[in-house]
Structure 1
Amino acid sequence: MAGPGGGGAERGGGGRGVVISDNWPGYSLDLFTYPQHYYGDLEYVLIPHGIIVDRTERLAKDIMQDIGDNDIVVLCVLKGGYKFCADLVEHIKNLSRNSERFISMKVDFVRLKSYHGVLLLSIYFLQICLLPSLPSSCLNPTINFSSNS
C-alpha cells in the first residue's frame, strides 16, 4: 500500500504488517481535525487513528486464527500499552463471541521502568499466574537489570 506523496507505507513480509519507510512524509494536517492546543506543535500525522484501530482489529483476527483451540494469556505492558491492550482484548472478545468456539482469556500486567541516562530496568510482575492450578506459580517479584556500559 503506497501512501500519499509517493511510496511511504507498504505491506510487510507475509502480508501481516505495514512498513513505513524513514522518508515517509506523513499525512497533511489539513486532512484531520485535532485539538487547537496542538496547533503549531504538529507538522504531520504519521499514522491516523483509523489505521491503528483497523490494524488492531486485524491483529486480533490473526491471533484468533493462530491460537486454534488454545486459551489466551495476555500480558499488558503498563502504563503506555494499556489502551492498546484494552482495545486488542476487546476485539478478541468480540471475535470469540461471534465464533463457534469459546476462547478463555486471562489478562495480566507487567510494569517496566527505565531511567534517563542509566541502563536500569525494573520489571514488576503484578500477580502473574503461570499455571492456574499451582498457587505457588503466582509471583510478585521485582527483577532489576543494571548496566553501566
Structure 2
Amino acid sequence: MADNSENKSGSGDCGIVIRDDWPGYSLDLFTYPQHYSEDLECVYIPHGVIMDRTERLARNIMDDLGDHDIVVLCVLKGGYQFCADLVERIKTLNRNSSKTLPMSVDFIRLKSYLNDQSTEDLHIIGAENLSVLSGKNVLIVEVIVDTGKTMKTLLNHVEGFRPKMIKVAGLLVKRVPNGPGCLPDYVGFEIPNRFVVGYALDYNEYFRDLNHICVISESGKQKYKV
C-alpha cells in the first residue's frame, strides 16, 4: 500500500491518501474468517496498519486537546471498534505523557444505509440523551465519512445542545462526487469510492467480525442483500 499512498501526518489533514488504482492485497496473504472466502475481493487496509494509524491519531488528539476534559461520542454501530481502539491508545498516552486527557464516553447510533447505498432517511437513536454534552468538549468518533451529509446532520444536532467545542475523528473519508460535506478534524485514511467492510463496518450487519478493512465482492453483495 505504501507505493500507492501519500502520508500527510498531523491533525486537520486528509490522512493517508489511498489512490484510485490501489488494488489491495491478496486475501491469501492474511488470515480472515473463512465463511467470507467467496465474499471479498481483497484486503484493502490490514488490521496492523489500522492500529498504527489509530495510535498516531491518538497522539494528534492528545497534542491538541490534552489537559481538557472531553466527552467521546461514539457513533454506532460501525464506529464501536475504532472508538474502542482510539480510546485505548489515548488511555496509554494518559499513563505515559506529560499531558492528560480525562475522558467520558457516550454513544449514539445512526442508520442511513440500505445494502450498499446511503439513503436520505437518517435515524438518530439515543439523541434524546445528549443534554450531557452541554458546555463540554466533544470528540465525535465515526468510522467512515462519504458524502458528509450524515455527519453534517449529526453536527447540527449536537450543536443544539450547546457544547463548548466539537471535534470529529474519522477513520475513513471516502472520495465521492459532491463530497465530503463535512471533513473530520482527524482523518485516518482517505480512500477511493469503493464499498468496504470489516473492522466493524458492515453490509446489512455482516462482516463486523472481520479484523481487516476489505472490499466486498459483487457476489458478496448479492449473497447478503436484503
TM-score bracket relative to the smaller structure: 0.7 to 0.9
Say which is worse superposed, 51-60 or 13-22, in terms of deviation.
Answer: 13-22
Q: Compute the displacement of 1:115 (Å).
A: 5.7
Opposite residue 91 of structure 2, the aligned amino acid is K
Q: Is the 8 A contact 2:65 2:101 kept in 1?
A: no
- Larger-Rg structure: 1
Q: Compute the displacement of 1:35 (Å).
A: 2.6
Quote the Cα distance in structure 2 between the aligned partners of 1:28 and 1:119: 35
TM-score normalized by structure 1?
Answer: 0.74
Q: Which residue of 2 aligns with 1:12?
A: 8
SS at match of 1:44: strand
Matched, 1:22 2:24: no
Identity of aligned residues (%): 61
Q: Deviations over 1:59-93 (max 9, x none)?
A: 11110001132122211001110111111111111
TM-score normalized by structure 2?
Answer: 0.51
> Gapped runs of 5+ residues in structure 2?
137-156, 158-226
Q: Compute the displacement of 1:96 (Å).
A: 0.7
Q: Is the 8 A contact 1:114 1:122 kept in 2?
A: yes
Q: Which residue of 1 aligns with 2:129?
A: 127
Q: Which residue of 1 aligns with 2:109?
A: 111
Opposite residue 127 of structure 1, the aligned amino acid is N
Runs of 4+ aligned structure 1 residues displaced above 6 Å come to: none
Q: Which residue of 2 aligns with 1:146?
A: none
Q: Which residue of 2 aligns with 1:33?
A: 31
Q: Which residue of 2 aligns with 1:71?
A: 69
Q: Is the 8 A contact 2:69 2:103 kept in 1?
A: yes
Q: How many residues align?
A: 130
Q: Which residue of 2 aligns with 1:85?
A: 83
SS at match of 2:39: coil
Of the two structures, which has the highest relative contact order with CA contacts closer than 8 Å and spacing of 6 or more?
A: 2
Opposite residue 110 of structure 1, the aligned amino acid is I
- Judged with a 3 Å threshold, the aligned counterparts in structure 2 of structure 1 residues 50 and 13 are, in CA distance, closer, same or farther, namely closer
Opposite residue 100 of structure 1, the aligned amino acid is S
Say which is worse superposed, 65-74 or 9-18, in terms of deviation.
Answer: 9-18
Q: Deviations over 1:112-146 (max 9, x none)?
A: 1226485121223263212379xxxxxxxxx7xxx
Opposite residue 49 of structure 1, the aligned amino acid is H
Q: Is the 8 A contact 2:66 2:101 kept in 1?
A: no
> Gapped runs of 5+ residues in structure 1?
134-142, 144-149
Q: Deviations over 1:86-106 (max 9, x none)?
A: 111111111112123432111
